[in-house]
Amino acid sequence: MSADINRLSDNKEISPVDLFYESFEKLNEYQKAAVLDYRKALLVNAHVGSGKTTVLIHKILYLHFIKKLPLQSMVVLTFTNKAAQEIKDRLKQLGSTIKNDDMKFFGTFHSVCRTLLSSSLTVENLGYTKEFSIADGDEILELYDRIMIDNNLSIKYKNKIKKRMDKVKSGETLYGNMKNDDDINELMKLLKQEKIRCNIMDFDDLIDYSIELLPISQFKPQWIIIDEFQDCDSRQLKMVELLAGNTGNIFAVGDPNQVIYSWRGGGGEVFEDFKVKHNASEISLPINYRSTTTILNAARSFLKNGVNLSGVRESGTPITIKKHHNRFNEAVYLCQRIKSLNSMGTAYKDIAVFYRKQKDSEVFAEVFDKHDIPFEVSSRKTLRDTPALYWALRLLKAAVNNRDKSSIVFLLGTGRYGVGISQKKVKDIAQKFFKADADTCGIELLSKIKGFREWCGNHTTSLEETASQIYDYFDIAMYLAPTSITFEEDRRIVMKLLNDITEYSVANNKDIFEVIGDYANSSSLYGNQILKEVSNNIHQDEDTVKLMTLHASKGLEFDYVFISGVNLGNIPIISKGEEGEKEEQRLFFVGITRARDSLEISYHVKPDDFGVYGVPSPYLRMIPEELIESEDFGSRASSLGQLRREIKDNIDKKSESSKANCPADNVKHKVLVVHDKYGQGEVISEDENNITVEFPVYGDKTFTKMFCPLKYI
DNA sequence: ATGTAGGACCTTTTT
DNA sequence: GGTCCTACAT
């Protein structure tokens, strides 16, 4: 589909209106109906792979080019920067006249809130200024620390403080039967004051304060368009309602079958609630273009009523279910399997391996490395993982928002970079600095920070030189440890950041101080994007196998998908109640439906993790037998009720016999072992992590004990 | 100050 | 099962 769009946009002679119609004609009747619908509140129930984003984009183009509404009168809300970026990119491809500035209110919930709070909403009412900055989770953690020290608070379970604070916020308590209370409620109170004093907001504040201020604002967009609507939590829903007011229209696209993040607040019955509350109509997009009929049929067994999803593709290959000893063995198998797929013409980048937990990636990464399989693990990187860049951004943050005490403390402290003043002294200095007269205590960096706004106003040289002048102004080199081996790279990264900023300032003819403010203040919101732009991101489209958690797979698709460790206790993790179990099912559904052509599922006989049982997940039995090609993996359940009973029985049975056979216990007394592939061998040496075994044919092999590929005899 | 028994929790993650 | 941490003991 995107190939079509590319081709069309190359044709410069066609006007955006014609281009729209040409592209619109290619939609199916359901998609067309959704685009043309003009009712006040519409829910689009977009099934997997049904062209959800395409519909959303055509909706915007239709409103703009056909209904002649300015883009500034629309708010488009997403949950991730990636989704927002994709929408903007595709809009620009189809509508050549569209400029970035027109899409001011297109973005994540948080970034749109930031735009509103720093332009049209009266944050001054709350004690903030429009230059407020945004603190990410880690910065809030710093803040907790500082408040605890400054106020002598006693807080228990400090390294779970984030989780505890989240609980307190929602009125619950972690560690419910803690004998003696601590000062956590006090910390909560002080936190709010301190954030205002420092002129910083956390992610939740952006939404909460927007909700607080929207009712008294003049901002009245005509259309509110929401992507992944099923992930809205109650506050985000509230925000949508306030944005729409009495006059705005709401167009929400989503799929209730893909709610996998309800544990972080959203999900639940948003669709139903919204329908009732706003008397919204519902349209569904039932046609899946992505997967083979076999895969879709399997997926359908996990849908509520499973009927309203149809495919257009051929039946394809059966789903494979494989039994492995443990994850290590599977990894070894996968290497050989992937190599063979690759030699038969499947590109590495069209193959993905999904697992349940982040930690699971370690085994795969290690084994894939050894077997020279090119791969990439999708791990979340933050700005902090590039310390020099992070330090520079904190500097800019402080320079723009002088009230940002956290950043000042960070910059002066004894971290990897920075001035290197001891914690106690920093506290004194910061205290003086934040008194009315802003004493810089003879610290060069502080006076530079304080004088930065003035310096920006006075400096008149060409903008091309501005980047290096800023670098010199703060004497950044000095703080980046010029003698360290990473210095050259650090300097390059920081210069690249400053260059990007000045370039942007030139291109958009905007004041440099303002642009720096935008950049620094939003670095928490677009952390990953900045990281990508600044570091050499070569891996983007590389031909590598992609490894990720099931959660991370949402929204992606691959020709060949492996789902690893579909065991009872892993997928599903045996969770609290019925709701939790349903979510586990949806997670598996999401995983299955990522596959275009082929799907291979595995389970482990001896899983490595606590709480995971060595039996296949009951979900495997919900897949119709005729779709599967596998070794036998047990009886099948004919109803959900029966399935639940079976899960329960399995758990009971397993917990009784769990102590019985744990081969690792006998390690020290025996010398002879058996390996699945190498056969019988003798232990030569071992330490706490590794064990070396001599095999008659294969010679010496060293194993990591964690993977436990050996059986003792 | 230092030692240890017993409790709670353990996953998924964007902004 | 392993880890972290509190609460109470010396």
pLDDT-based confidence at residue A116 (cuts at 50, 70, 90) = very high
Check residues A520 and A109 and name the one with the higher pLDDT: A109
Check residues A461 and A211 and name the one with the higher pLDDT: A211
* Averaged pLDDT, A32-57: 94
- A391 CA → B15 C1’, Å: 20
What pLDDT was estimated at residue A305?
Answer: 65
Q: Would the Cβ of A692 be found within 7 angstroms of any atom in strand B?
A: no
- Res A258 pLDDT > 90: yes
Question: Which residues does residue A616 pair with via DSSP β-bridges, in sequence order?
Answer: A567
- A586 CA → C4 C1’, Å: 33
What share of chain A in percent tops pLDDT 90?
49
Of A203-217, A484-498, A528-542, A661-675, which gets the smallest average pLDDT?
A661-675
Residue A604 per-residue DSSP state: E
How far apart CA A156 and CA A502 sit, in angstroms, is 46
What pLDDT was estimated at residue A61?
Answer: 96
What pLDDT was estimated at residue A136?
Answer: 87
- A141 CA → B7 C1’, Å: 26
- Res A398 pLDDT > 80: yes
pLDDT-based confidence at residue A666 (cuts at 50, 70, 90) = very low
Nucleotide nearest to A378 (CA to C1'): B13
Question: Long-range contact list for A365-368, CB < 8 A, 24+ apart?
Answer: A365/A547, A366/A331, A366/A704, A367/A328, A367/A331, A367/A332, A367/A334, A367/A335, A368/A331, A368/A334, A368/A335, A368/A545, A368/A547
Nucleotide nearest to A109 (CA to C1'): B15
Q: How many CB atoms lie within 10 A of CB A37?
A: 15
Place of tokens 């084994």: A367
Question: In chain C, which nucleotides are within 7 Å of a protein Cβ?
Answer: 1-2, 4-8
Give me the helices (H) in A267-325, please. 270-278, 293-300
- A671 CA → B13 C1’, Å: 44
Identify the residue whose Cα has the smallest distance to the C1' of C7.
A179
Average pLDDT in chain A = 83
What pLDDT was estimated at residue A371?
Answer: 95
Nucleotide nearest to A175 (CA to C1'): B8
Nucleotide nearest to A160 (CA to C1'): C4
- How far, rounded to the nearest angstrom, does the alpha carbon of residue A243 sit from its chain's CA centroid? 25
How many Å from the N-terminal Cα to the C-terminal Cα in chain A? 58
**Contact residues for strand C with beta carbon within 7 Å:** A 156-160, 178-180, 610, 658-659, 662
Residue A616 per-residue DSSP state: B
What pLDDT was estimated at residue A263?
Answer: 79
- Res A94 pLDDT > 70: yes
Strand B and chain A: which residues 50-69 have CB closer than 7 Å? none
Instruction: Assign residue A571 a region (left: φ > 0; alpha: ψ between -120 and 50; beta: otherwise).
Output: beta
- A388 CA → C6 C1’, Å: 38
Of A489-498, A508-517, A668-677, which gets the smallest average pLDDT?
A668-677
Residue-wise pLDDT tens digits, A615-646: 999 999 999 989 988 765 554 544 445 555 55
- The CA distances from residue A487 to A94, A477, A480, A505, A624, in Å, are 44, 8, 7, 27, 59
Residue-wise pLDDT tens digits, A325-351: 999 999 999 999 999 999 999 999 999
Of A104-108, A177-181, A670-674, which gets the smallest average pLDDT?
A670-674
